[in-house]
């Protein structure tokens, strides 16, 4: 009876350490953005045929276009129940009442737009443009629900991983 108990204890201890290790790996390979933990999942990238790459060790590889060249970490898009179509429609038709801002979770700005009749129409027009271009999103930091072939915009950013090509002097 005691041997069975010790074996179960060892199994439970291994399961516990596997869970802890998985959690630590998930946290270290994730990004904290807008209060959400965005997981970065590796996506297999296959270079075009006849591309030659040289890695940091000096090893030269030529790809045929069928093998995986590298894995790029891509973050998942956190989506709640805010529809892009509804937000644009509310901004277009009821933006002067602040309905778009109430819908997106900005009650103070919605009340301000309601009391000033959409800042005399100018604020409604600006909000319509900002919501249409997806600069203003839901207040909780999530993304809009957009159809697969919808108008999803991806902002391009420059960081330390961005390759800058030097311009030719004329």
The answer to whether residue 77 scores a pLDDT higher than 60 is: yes
Look at residue 59 in the predicted model and tell me its pLDDT: 87
Look at residue 12 in the predicted model and tell me its pLDDT: 52
Q: What do you get for the CA distance between the two ends of the chain, in Å? A: 85
Among 126, 120, 66, smallest CA distance to 100 is for 126
Convert the pLDDT of each residue in 42-76 to its tens digit. Answer: 888 888 888 888 878 888 888 888 888 888 877 77
Give the span between the Cα atoms of 53 and 64, in whole angstroms.
Answer: 12
Convert the pLDDT of each residue in 120-148 to its tens digit. Answer: 999 999 999 999 999 999 999 888 998 87
Comparison of pLDDT for 113 and 34, the residue scoring more: 113
How many CB atoms lie under 10 A from the CB of residue 159? 5
pTM score, whole prediction: 0.58
Look at residue 4 in the predicted model and tell me its pLDDT: 47
Task: Assign 110 a pLDDT band (cuts: 50, 70, 90).
Answer: very high
Look at residue 38 in the predicted model and tell me its pLDDT: 56
The answer to whether residue 96 scores a pLDDT higher than 80 is: yes
Q: Which residues contact 74 (CB under 8 A, 6 or more apart)?
A: 40, 41, 42, 43
| Domain boundaries of the chain, sorted by first residue | 2-50+71-145
Write down the mean pLDDT value for the chain.
79
């Amino acid at each position: 009876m005691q041997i069975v108990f010790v074996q179960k204890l060892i199994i439970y201890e291994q399961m516990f350490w596997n869970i802890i290790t998985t959690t630590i790996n998930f946290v270290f390979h994730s990004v904290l953005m807008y209060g959400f933990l965005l997981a970065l999942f590796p996506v297999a990238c296959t270079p075009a045929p006849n591309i030659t790459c040289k890695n940091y060790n000096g090893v030269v590889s030529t790809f045929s276009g069928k093998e995986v060249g590298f894995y790029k970490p891509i973050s998942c898009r956190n989506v709640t129940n805010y529809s892009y179509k509804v937000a644009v429609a509310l901004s277009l038709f009821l933006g002067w009442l602040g309905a778009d801002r109430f819908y997106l979770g900005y009650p103070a700005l919605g009340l301000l737009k309601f009391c000033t009749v959409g800042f005399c129409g100018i604020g409604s027009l600006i909000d319509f443009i900002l919501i249409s271009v997806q600069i203003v999103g839901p207040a909780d930091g999530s993304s809009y629900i957009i159809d697969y072939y919808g108008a999803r915009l991806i902002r391009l950013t420059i960081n330390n991983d961005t390759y800058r090509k030097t311009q030719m002097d004329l």
